[in-house]
A and B are shown apart, each in its own frame.
Chain A
Amino acid sequence: MGRYVIRRLLQMIPVFIGSTFLIFFMVYALGDPVAALFGDKAPDPATAARIRKDLYLDQPLWKQYLHYMGQIFQGDFGTAFNGQKVTELMASAFPVTLRLTIVAIAIEIVVGITLGVISGLKRGKSIDSGVLVLTLVVISVPTFVTGYLLQFVFGVKWGWVRPTVSPDAPFSELILPGIVLALVSLAYVTRLTRTSIAENVKADYVRTAVAKGLPRRRVITRHLLRNSLIPVVTFIGTDIGALMGGAIVTERIFNIHGVGYQLYQGILRNNSPTVVGFVTILVIVFLLANLLVDLLYAVLDPRIRYA
């Protein structure tokens, strides 16, 4: 088991290098960022040349990449154009987005799995159809619509919550944005759970458990649900990475200064250190989440072994 984890961690190194390489080159392909620093005015050639030299932009691309990777291994992710260290930006942005992600994932797990179990057990009944229709509606409405709508109804019209999130972004203020962020994935979690439960409910081990006379509650939670969760856990695992990177829309609507906001600003200003640095971290988050999922498989299904 320990060996398995170590091997997986070592496998992350080439993936990490490969992905930073791709991101670096793609951001570079967006063009020279220096001209935009001067607004509508013409860049002063001498000043622009100095800035390019400082940012290493006057070097060939492969040298820039080596320089950048050299910096990263020393824990230096470069400097954003407003003079702020990218590591500082990360220190302020990642905790906020991680909190938002935790709220969203928690909602997905609790609400999504509960709805999925109910509708999976009552397959074909009216409650099942109701959940299916509901999730279909949720999937088909884009995030920015639900976001602005819920913000307007709960924040402006009824005044139950603050429509925007303060800079500290405590958990209490992140519930509404968390719901908005969770909604689409929640529908998938519900549907995945439902299908999985509906399939396994007829499985031999469930029949055995029922025949042994175990209470219904125990049959469902310990035997049926645990084995049915594997596809759901896989989905939620990949979703952690997707939610963190994809929170751009939600973060904009609720004024959350997280990863999505920094990425958006970075792309808008062609700020390559910010974009590459943040995406690099997101890649790591993605890889770790996947490792976590693979480890959870064995917890859920003892038949799964690691070699």
Chain B
Amino acid sequence: MRGATHAKWAACAAAVALAATACGGGSDSGGGGADGIVSSSWGDPQNPLEPANTNEVQGGKVLDMIFRGLKRYDPETGEAKNFLAEKIETTDSQNFTITLKDGWKFSNDEPVTAQSFVDAWNYGADVTKKQNNSPFFSDIVGYADVHPEKGDPKSKTMSGLVVKDPKTFTVALKEKFSTWPETLGYQAFSPLPKAFFTDHDAWLKKPVGNGPYTVDSYTKGTGMKLRKWDAYTGEDKAVNGGVDLKVYTDNNTAYTDLISGNLDLVDDVPAQQLKNVANDLGDRYINQPALIIQTLTFPLYDPQWSKEGMDKVRRGISMAINRDEITKQIFRETRTPAKDWTSPALGDKGGFSATACGEACSFNPTEAKKLIQEAGGLPGGKVSLTSNVDTGSHREWMDAVCNSINNALGEGPVCTVNPIGTFADFRNQQSSFKLTGPFRSGWQADYPLIQNFLEPLYYTGASSNYGKFSNPEFDKLVDAANRESDAAKATGLFKDAEKILAEQMPSIPLWYQNGSAGYGERVSDVKLNQFSVPVYDQIKVS
């Protein structure tokens, strides 16, 4: 029976293949989650969930639920309010004494002390821990000892941080920085419990914080279940029983689950669905400006863009872009045409100005053509826009911007698009200063301060100054603003600095990005904060 032997061998091979499938696993309960639990869409965080290592929205969402810091930004106004901090005092805008409130604990019952903060910050700054947010501690005296540019650190701790008693510590900064306390609402400054340092791997599997929620279970790449922490003493106790975050492969799929009742909340409505959103959700759709601006930055390290008189060309290109049309047609009004280099989410008091860019940001093809011709035309007669095109409709808007420029100039297709396949590749070319034409730069602020929109991007030698813009006058105004202890005056100085951007146009403000969210009928009181993250603890479940 020759055939039978063959069959046996084949069956064996098939059995090996099938063995890998092993168990099927139980089924998940359907519907939008258990009583009082909000189910919400999530994306897989890019880095391990540590406060000083999380720099994107998905991980930030979780940190916002399980951590509370010295300050917290009011979800409505963006104002930095004392939270764990009783008071933050200074006489010279350089040395600060921070006093903590009583009664704060981590959810493992360990009290939150001055040491919890100092340890966390030293950890965040330590170069050997490879934390993405290390530069946030670079203002503190002794940063270079724990974070040298080369070689091993000289010390484990920064000399600028001194614990006075369990409730008090002092911070010495390298330079005057009057709005520094306002930055302390950023998650990188969260306190950490001892368990974080003693059993780091276990902590990463199930993070422990001091916020209104605790982590019930966390399956990487799949989801996280957060539950209300009953012993939480803060005033912002969660009004729901918990939040189930579910990782979605695609935001279209999350939207499908929302409208079929399997999910309560999506915080990113996909562009393709925007035409249906009014029909599907009615007033359960939120679309409001966030602290995000998209700009086109010029490579000023390239002499052909920076030489004398080119500021006219740069302004001309800006005036050739029909922002209203593009935000309406391509983004269906989930972007707001930009009027300055900050964001409306800052509010007028925070430094937003609807007039800072003025004429230069309004569509005027005739004036655009005149300006560019006066300055001798585009460098080499053409311009090429660069961005990654793997996400965010970047290809579409770049095509539209080019169309707009070509139509305005009437010299044929002088504007072309240089699409780059992946974000990583784009970032490499951008940060190694290889681009020779204007490129997209997106900026999401870390804290609602005008300083954060201007200094890191346009100050000489600043970390994210990819166009290498340098203007002594601008630098001087930023320095003055950072020294100024009166908040309103400091904001005024930043606004003066912004006027220089309007003249020089090192980057063209395109549009502010809105936060968009949709929610189901089970939940109410859904709001987005300035970072376009839902304020989970306020969501009511019926």
Contacts and interface: CB of A to CB of B under 8 A. Distances in A.
Contacts of A264: 249
Contacts of A46: 127, 134, 147-150
Contacts of B443: 40
Contact of A36 (B16, B21, B424): B424
Interface string B422-463: 111101100100000000011110000000000010000001
B303 interface: no
B343 interface: no
Contact of A268 (B27, B252, B390, B464): B390
Given A46-B149, A50-B128, A167-B28, A299 B221 contact: no
Name A's interface SS: helix
A32 B134 contact: no
Interface string A67-95: 00000000000000111100011001011
* Most chain A CB within a 10 A radius of its CB, from B47, B150, B221: B221
Contacts of A148: 252
Interface residues of B, number: 76
Contacts of A49: 150
Given A82-B45, A265-B44, A302-B3, A41 B13 contact: no
Interface in B111-135: 127-128, 130-132, 134-135
Contact of B441 (A40, A94, A159): A40
Contact of B10 (A163, A269, A295): A295
A42 B464 CA distance: 5
A156 B256 contact: yes
A42 B45 contact: no
Interface stretch (B61-69, B234-242, B257-265, B480-488): B257-265
Contact of A44 (B9, B135, B390): B135
A305 to B, nearest CB: 9
A271 B439 CA distance: 24
Given A40-B442, A95-B21, A166 B27 contact: yes
| Of listed B131, B250, B427, residue having the most chain A CB within 10 A | B427
B220 interface: yes
B6 A298 contact: yes
A142 interface: no
Contact of A295 (B13, B47, B132): B13
Interface in A24-57: 30-33, 35-47, 49-51, 54
A156 B279 CA distance: 15
Given A46-B148, A95-B20, A82 B47 contact: yes
Contacts of B249: 251-252, 255-257, 261, 264
Contacts of B48: 82-83
A143 to B, nearest CB: 14
A302 B2 contact: yes
A42 to B, nearest CB: 4
A44 B134 contact: yes
B425 A47 contact: no
A46 B262 CA distance: 45
A168 B28 contact: yes
B70 to A, nearest CB: 22
Contacts of A298: 2-3, 6
A42 B428 CA distance: 10
B25 A168 contact: yes
Nearest to A265: B44
Nearest to A292: B13
A4 to B, nearest CB: 9
Contact of A39 (B10, B26, B30, B56): B56
B256 A155 contact: yes
B22 A95 contact: yes
A151 interface: yes
A130 interface: no
Contacts of B21: 95, 98-99, 102
B47 to A, nearest CB: 6
Interface string B205-234: 000000000000001111100000000000
Contacts of A31: 422, 424-425, 428
B30 to A, nearest CB: 6
Interface string B10-39: 100110111011111111101000000000
A49 B423 CA distance: 19
A285 B20 CA distance: 11
A49 B134 CA distance: 13
A33 B427 CA distance: 9
B249 to A, nearest CB: 5
Residue among A44, A163, A256, A288 with the most chain B CB within 10 A? A44
Contact of A164 (B10, B253, B464): B253
21 contacts: A1-B9, A31-B428, A37-B47, A39-B56, A41-B55, A41-B464, A42-B431, A44-B132, A46-B149, A46-B150, A92-B221, A98-B21, A102-B21, A162-B260, A164-B256, A167-B223, A168-B28, A255-B254, A268-B423, A270-B422, A270-B425
Closest 3 CB pairs of A and B: A166-B28, A36-B424, A168-B25
Given A42-B463, A255-B250, 6 more contacts: A46-B134, A92-B222, A95-B22, A255-B257, A256-B249, A292-B14
